Amino acid sequence: MKQLHIKNRVFKGRTARFLPVVLLAVIIAITSVAPSVMAKNNANNDTSNAKQQYVITIYDDNTEKTIISTADNATDALKSAEISVSKHDSVEPALDKKFQDAIVIINIHRARPVMIVDNQRQARVITSAQNTTDIANVANINLHPEDIASLSLPDDLLLSGGAGLQMNITRAKVVNLKLYGQDLVVRTQKNTVAELLKEKKIELGPDDGMSLAPETEIVDEMQLQIWRNGIQTVTATEEISFTTKTVQDATRNVGYHEIQTTGQNGEKTVIYQIEMRNGEEINRAIISEVVNQPAIEQVEIVGTKVNLPPGNHEDWMRMAGISPSDYGYVNYIFNRESGWRTSARNPSGKYVGLGQTNPATLAAACPNWQSDPICQIKFFDGYAKRRYGSWAGAYNFWQRNHWW
């Protein structure tokens, strides 16, 4: 039998009959590769005119469109496909993101008006968000895990203002729970206290008591207390209030105020040993106290420098409009009340100024009272004449009582 050798293989019998097919496949492969090789060589010779082509499928809500384009981002691809989007629509991938693969899928989520019904509150937003959580975020509505939000067609197209979708929110009821001495706020869609306890995995022990019966119907903002009779421990996280330090700066004028360091509250974990009897706490003692975050002291700078106007006490009284015949009375009272110190303050801090009066009252009349003796003298001049009829009357009262 005649033998045919191809690539060191021997074809005999039935195998030889497949030789024409093999040869034909080789010829086709060579002829098909040749143009591509030539095209590749031509591309190498003229790379400046070569541009990547993309097969782009666009899903626009319920429609689909496929184009072949050299556009390398969604903005240009949508323009080529003659598809426009609004600022409220969402496009994936992002409009300006460069394509990475030759086959591209673009998803367009069209914005539509959504009417949100949240108990008595209603809000209308335009959004491309596809789920209740994202829609609530767009509307700045806080949803708790226990709240129920659902999407449906609007109940009334006219009242909804043409909204294409309605989101109904069923708020969970709030229960203020005091659990073994710890105050908690819990939310639930359940109807009874027993169902709430089961939902929150709270199991009552033989020594536990409860302020409400298990079959009590849950209403919003209800109070529920669960306690354990006897001695027990309770762990609580508590706030540490920051303190304030005031630094007096003699180089700054009176009235200057600056917060140099802003105070911040801290946090601590406290373990208490408490004794309960019939739901009443009869004793509490701290077992341990650990500072988780120390408070930061607030530092405030206040100016104490007083810039007084030129002249002596008589010059000030004259500028304040005091009659020269009253100079002696005014001088006597101010010497004993403040020693003529404009920023004088009594030990308790309740009275200030030349004539010693309430700080708020004096500040209302003379905002810069510490450095403004003229205003203070006018203020106390009015006080003396209203209460005593004259400075002489004020002087006589002070002589008898040693205050005025």
Quote the strand ranges of 229-279, DSSP E.
230-240, 244-253, 257-261, 266-277
pLDDT of amino acid 316: 96
| 234 compared with 172, residue with greater pLDDT | 172
In whole angstroms, what is the distance from residue 89 CA to residue 126 CA?
9
What single string gives the DSSP state of each residue in 269-287?
Answer: EEEEEEEEETTEEEEEEEE
Q: Is 44's pLDDT higher than 60?
A: no
pLDDT of amino acid 234: 84
pLDDT of amino acid 250: 86
Q: Is 207's pLDDT higher than 60?
A: yes
What is the side-by-side order of every strand in the sheet holding 103-109? Answer: 63-69, 54-60, 103-109, 90-92
Q: Over the stretch 341-376, which tens digit does the pLDDT of each residue have?
A: 999 999 998 999 999 999 999 999 999 999 999 999
Give the alpha-carbon dihedral of 35, 37, 41, 47, to 10 degrees. 90
Q: Over the stretch 103-117, which tens digit does the pLDDT of each residue have?
A: 999 999 899 899 999
Please state, for a pLDDT cut of 70, what percent of the chain lies above it: 86
**What letter would DSSP give residue 404?**
-
| 344 compared with 47, residue with greater pLDDT | 344
pLDDT of amino acid 37: 44
Confidence at 162, pLDDT banded by 50, 70, 90: low
Q: Over the stretch 326-346, which tens digit does the pLDDT of each residue have?
A: 999 999 999 999 999 999 999
pTM attached to this predicted model: 0.45
pLDDT of amino acid 233: 84
Q: Alpha-carbon torsion 357, 359, 361, 362, what sign?
A: positive
Q: Is 297's pLDDT higher than 70?
A: yes
Confidence at 50, pLDDT banded by 50, 70, 90: confident
Q: Over the stretch 86-106, which tens digit does the pLDDT of each residue have?
A: 888 999 999 999 999 999 999
pLDDT of amino acid 158: 59
pLDDT of amino acid 20: 45
pLDDT of amino acid 157: 62
